Chains A and B, each alone.
Chain A
Amino acid sequence: MSLLIVRNLSIAAGERLLVEEVDLDLAEGEVLGLVGESGSGKSITCRALMRLLPHDQLHIAGGSVTLKGRDLARLDEAEMRKVRGVEIGMIFQNPSSHLDPVMRIGDQIAESVRYHEGASTKEARGRAVELLRQVGIPDPVRRVSAYPHEFSGGMRQRAMIAVALACRPKLLIADEPTTALDVTVQAQVLRLLLDLRDRLGLAILLVTHNLGVVAQTCDSLTVMYAGRIMERGPKRDLLRAPAHPYTEALLKCQPGSAKPAAQLPAIPGQPPLAGAFPPGCRFHPRCPRVADICRRERPALSPAQGPRVAACHFTSALRAAS
């Protein structure tokens, strides 16, 4: 049974739609990868799930976000606060700027426990030590009183995970959690996330532009481009035989997929600016298989193979080619 069901979610800046018709399904203990280039709308989708869009600029224009049977889009602000941190935890791309520089790490973990559960200072501190231990920070009793600048980048991301898990949420939204980290540390943090998934039964929505990260961690994938879903399905199928030219192009751009010493291929052109999307299929200006119909008609998401869906007029042709 799905923990999180997102249907038809769209996000707008004033009149301009930035994200349209996004569907997501996430079951307990599942890791769902949300993949796309920067500007594809994946980060604001995450913010929208938490209802943390900068409200003077962006708003949810339609759709539903159902968590354990409740539509979050309909909750009032006070009810929504009981969801944030308690039912959904969130971690961010840049742990350095997302931790308060002048508050002790322990207090940053403890404050949501104190606010949501009314725990005493001592109880909350105990929970903070326990969480730091869980996310693999050595000597947590001492580190709980440290400030963020005393931590390394990887430790800061671990601390932020501890902050997000303080009230034992069942769902973790991780917005590019490894992008700002060294490659070796990236792998450690991903392993930690998987480990937590196994131990706590956590569902994780992992936002990334890095298919290498996806390959290591996710169960299923959703590929976004220019504010729309291009393809969705189980990770193995998607990575082995992409049904959408955009997914295919992304895969070709990954280091390791090209021959050694050859130049890393890139997708030609630039992704469109938010809100200035081309008509028809949004990927058509950069698509190697572009045809007349792509410029005129927007392809609907349609079943491609097994449980997979893709939004391309030539899905069947692609399959035939592979």
Chain B
Amino acid sequence: MHRYAFILTRPLQLIPVLFGISVLCFFLVKSIPGDPVRLLLGTKSTPEAVARIRAQYGLDEPLLTQYIYFLKNLSAGEMGHSLLYKMPVLPLIAERVVPTLMLVVGSVLLTLLIAVPLASLAALKRGTATDHAIRGFTTAGLGFPAFWLGIMLIIVFSVKLGLFPVAGFGESWLSKLHHMVLPCLTVALALSAIVTRNLRASMIAELASDHATAARAKGLPESWVFRRHVLPNSLIPTINLLAINVGWLIGGSVVVETVFSLPGMGQLLVRAIFTRDYMVVQGVTLVFACATVVLNFVADLLTVAADPRVKI
């Protein structure tokens, strides 16, 4: 079978998980105490609207039927209405995708930008003061609360040095990027602690590997051996590590969006919780869960692309 055949078969295997996600999200809203119509429409509801909602969600039917209604609405892109924003949930979320996506992708890129040089330095200068300092960072970095780190970065880079905006999201793409630097750095500093730690260990193993010795026997300089042989081989487990941390990454972005007032999905979620805008909570949770599944799939793709031996 072709190595990339899983692109076709994997979505089928994911059906049970996606099914489970929908069930959980369904029950999440079901378990809210009180009259569901009230929750969905707020206090100022007209009798017609109440009747419409009851019919749309089948609220008088048995639970199973209600779930089928839920799936039916979902497949039509219908995730209910936001009480606060007075608009359907799906377009509301769609408006908020860009900042979150930029934050997640930017954080991963920045993480690699930090972790690869640090891990290389630690692995090449193993046992020196540099190595110990970097290892100290990896142990301490895990315990840095993202929201606090973000505020510290704001104090230093925005308030004191005036290099970056304190909060918000710009209009032009350039300004947006400028606004993204500190949020991405916040997430990346914590994530790069884990990545550096693991990358350092695999680099040390690869530096001592037989194929690195064979490359040296070809007369290649150490820098070439490192770049062409040690680095590619030690980056492969890093892809998997990032995949494991996708959930953490999204959770972290929720908090960081609040710190920097980024108009993303995470901020939408937190506001919705405060305003008891339950359909939005449900919608965002659903989208985040599906995004996690998709990102794990992407990680598998990257692993297959990076490592010719892997078959999924």
Direct contact of A and B (CB under 8 A): yes
Across the interface, which residues of A come within 8 angstroms of B233, CB to CB?
Answer: 100-102
| B24 on interface, CB distance cutoff 8 Å | no
Over the window 62-97 of chain B, the binary record of Cβ atoms lying under 8 Å from chain A Cβ atoms (1 yes, 0 no) is: 000000000000000000000000000000000000
Over the window 155-196 of chain A, the binary record of Cβ atoms lying under 8 Å from chain B Cβ atoms (1 yes, 0 no) is: 000001001101100000000000000000000000000000
A52: contacting residue among B216, B228, B229, B232, CB under 8 A: B216
Over the window 217-235 of chain B, the binary record of Cβ atoms lying under 8 Å from chain A Cβ atoms (1 yes, 0 no) is: 1111100100011001100
Over the window 80-119 of chain A, the binary record of Cβ atoms lying under 8 Å from chain B Cβ atoms (1 yes, 0 no) is: 0111111001101010011111110000000110011000
Which of B153-161, B239-247, B302-310 lies at the interface with chain A?
B302-310
| B60 on interface, CB distance cutoff 8 Å | no
Quick check: B220 and A81 within 8 Å, CB to CB?
yes
Across the interface, which residues of A come within 8 angstroms of B308, CB to CB?
Answer: 101-102, 147, 149-150
Across the interface, which residues of A come within 8 angstroms of B210, CB to CB?
Answer: 92, 94, 97-98
Across the interface, which residues of B come within 8 angstroms of A85, CB to CB?
Answer: 217-220
Quick check: A149 and B309 within 8 Å, CB to CB?
yes
- Docked Cα-Cα span, A97 to B217, in Å, equals 14
Quick check: A103 and B219 within 8 Å, CB to CB?
no
A100: contacting residue among B208, B211, B219, CB under 8 A: B211
Could you name 9 residue pairs across A and B whose Cβ atoms are closer than 8 Å?
A: A52-B213, A83-B219, A84-B218, A92-B214, A99-B211, A101-B307, A102-B232, A102-B308, A116-B219
Instruction: Determine how close the nearest CB of chain A comes to the CB of B124; give it in whole angstroms.
Output: 13
Which secondary structure dominates chain B's binding surface?
Answer: helix
Over the window 194-210 of chain B, the binary record of Cβ atoms lying under 8 Å from chain A Cβ atoms (1 yes, 0 no) is: 00000000000000111
| B177 on interface, CB distance cutoff 8 Å | no
Quick check: B213 and A103 within 8 Å, CB to CB?
no
Quick check: B218 and A112 within 8 Å, CB to CB?
yes
Quick check: B218 and A111 within 8 Å, CB to CB?
yes
Instruction: Determine how close the nearest CB of chain A comes to the CB of B195; give it in whole angstroms.
Output: 19
Which residue in chain A gives the minimum CB-CB distance to B228? A111
Quick check: B236 and A84 within 8 Å, CB to CB?
no
Quick check: A101 and B309 within 8 Å, CB to CB?
yes
| A50 on interface, CB distance cutoff 8 Å | yes
Across the interface, which residues of B come within 8 angstroms of A83, CB to CB?
Answer: 219
Quick check: B211 and A84 within 8 Å, CB to CB?
no
Instruction: Determine how close the nearest CB of chain A comes to the CB of B142; give it in whole angstroms.
Output: 29
| B215 on interface, CB distance cutoff 8 Å | yes
Contacts A54-B208, A163-B218 given; 10 further ones with Cβ under 8 A?
A81-B220, A84-B218, A90-B217, A98-B211, A99-B214, A101-B308, A102-B232, A102-B307, A111-B218, A111-B224
A-B contact count (CB 8 A): 83
Across the interface, which residues of B come within 8 angstroms of A97, CB to CB?
Answer: 209-211
Instruction: Determine how close the nearest CB of chain B comes to the CB of A109; give it in whole angstroms.
Output: 9
Chain A 25-68 residues near chain B, CB threshold 8 A: 50, 52, 54
Across the interface, which residues of A come within 8 angstroms of B224, CB to CB?
Answer: 111, 115
Quick check: B221 and A81 within 8 Å, CB to CB?
yes
Residue among B209, B210, B217, B307 with max Cβ neighbours from chain A (10 Å):
B217
Chain B 269-312 residues near chain A, CB threshold 8 A: 306-309
Across the interface, which residues of B come within 8 angstroms of A94, CB to CB?
Answer: 210
- Docked Cα-Cα span, A52 to B220, in Å, equals 12
Which residue in chain A gives the minimum CB-CB distance to B213? A52
Instruction: Determine how close the nearest CB of chain B comes to the CB of A176; give it in whole angstroms.
Output: 13
Quick check: B217 and A84 within 8 Å, CB to CB?
yes
Across the interface, which residues of B come within 8 angstroms of A115, CB to CB?
Answer: 218-221, 224
Which residue in chain A gives the minimum CB-CB distance to B233? A102
Across the interface, which residues of A come within 8 angstroms of B216, CB to CB?
Answer: 52, 84
Which residue in chain A gives the minimum CB-CB distance to B309? A149
Chain B 79-138 residues near chain A, CB threshold 8 A: none
Instruction: Determine how close the nearest CB of chain B comes to the CB of A103; give it in whole angstroms.
Output: 7
With A100-B233, A115-B224 known as contacts, the answer to whether A50 contacts B217 (CB < 8 A) is yes
Quick check: A160 and B220 within 8 Å, CB to CB?
no
- Docked Cα-Cα span, A306 to B232, in Å, equals 55
- Docked Cα-Cα span, A90 to B211, in Å, equals 12
Quick check: B211 and A101 within 8 Å, CB to CB?
yes
- Docked Cα-Cα span, A52 to B208, in Å, equals 12
Across the interface, which residues of B come within 8 angstroms of A81, CB to CB?
Answer: 219-221
Chain B 170-215 residues near chain A, CB threshold 8 A: 208-211, 213-215
- Docked Cα-Cα span, A160 to B307, in Å, equals 20
- Docked Cα-Cα span, A89 to B229, in Å, equals 19
Quick check: B215 and A100 within 8 Å, CB to CB?
yes
Instruction: Determine how close the nearest CB of chain A comes to the CB of B218; give it in whole angstroms.
Output: 4
B214: contacting residue among A116, A147, A149, A163, CB under 8 A: A163
Residue among A50, A82, A111, A163 with max Cβ neighbours from chain B (10 Å):
A111
Across the interface, which residues of A come within 8 angstroms of B218, CB to CB?
Answer: 84-85, 111-112, 115, 163-164, 166
Across the interface, which residues of A come within 8 angstroms of B220, CB to CB?
Answer: 81, 85, 111-112, 115
Quick check: A86 and B219 within 8 Å, CB to CB?
yes
Quick check: B214 and A84 within 8 Å, CB to CB?
no
Quick check: B214 and A160 within 8 Å, CB to CB?
yes
Which residue in chain A gives the minimum CB-CB distance to B306? A102
Which residue in chain A gives the minimum CB-CB distance to B220? A115
Across the interface, which residues of A come within 8 angstroms of B217, CB to CB?
Answer: 50, 52, 84-85, 89-90, 92, 164
Quick check: A98 and B214 within 8 Å, CB to CB?
yes
- Docked Cα-Cα span, A147 to B233, in Å, equals 14
Which residue in chain B gives the minimum CB-CB distance to A113? B218
- Docked Cα-Cα span, A156 to B308, in Å, equals 16
Quick check: B219 and A112 within 8 Å, CB to CB?
yes
Across the interface, which residues of A come within 8 angstroms of B228, CB to CB?
Answer: 103, 111
